[in-house]
Structures are given as C-alpha cells and as structure tokens.
C-alpha cells in the first residue's frame, strides 16, 4: 500500500469509527459502511470499496464464534471501535 493509499484508508477508517460512535440501530461494520454510502452519503463508491477491502484484508485473528457474519457480537460497538483505533494507529505509524 503506497503512502497516498494509507492516508486515504486511515481517513476512511476515522470516518467509519466516528459514524459507528453515533449510529442508532448499529449492527456491524459492513452495514455501517453501506449506510455511510447509500443513505448518509458520507463516502462515495470508491471509499466504500476501500473500506470493504481494508476490512477483508485485515480481518482480526480472534473473532466472535456465534455468527460467521460478524467478527464480534452483533450490535456491540466497543470491540469494533477498539479495532478501528488500532488500525488507525498502525496506518499512522507506517507514514
């Protein structure tokens, strides 16, 4: 990932984190990404793809075992926000 791509991914992860923190009816990050794109118009199609690809490429090792569709229990914001914060720091350190 080049420097511009890292910066773009970092900015999008920050947007995702901030969106999740205030989102009513939160279920999971994939749904939040689609909400940011389809309804809130906070990101464009490219941003949507970058976020989905980033999540797929950086899947956490330890995951919730209750439902294969979620990395953590559906609706639980805290582990997702913690993960996003760690990923944002990782991207910040790589500049």
Domain locations in the chain as residue ranges: 3-93
Q: Mean pLDDT by 10-residue block, N- to C-terminus, for the chain (95 residues)?
A: 89 98 94 95 96 93 70 92 96 79
81 with 21: CB under 8 angstroms?
Answer: yes
Rounded to a whole number of angstroms, the distance between the first and last alpha carbons of the chain is 11
Position 66 scores a pLDDT of 65
At 94 the pLDDT is 65
> Three-state DSSP class for 6?
helix
């Amino acid at each position: 990932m080049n420097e511009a791509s890292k910066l773009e991914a970092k900015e999008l992860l920050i947007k995702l984190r901030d969106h999740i923190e205030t989102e009513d009816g939160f279920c999971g990050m994939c749904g939040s990404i689609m909400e940011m794109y389809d309804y809130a118009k906070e990101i464009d199609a490219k941003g949507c793809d970058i976020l989905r690809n980033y999540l797929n490429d950086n899947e956490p090792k330890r995951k919730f075992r209750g439902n294969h569709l979620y990395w953590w229990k559906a609706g639980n914001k805290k582990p997702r926000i913690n993960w996003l914060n760690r990923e944002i720091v990782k991207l910040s350190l790589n500049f």
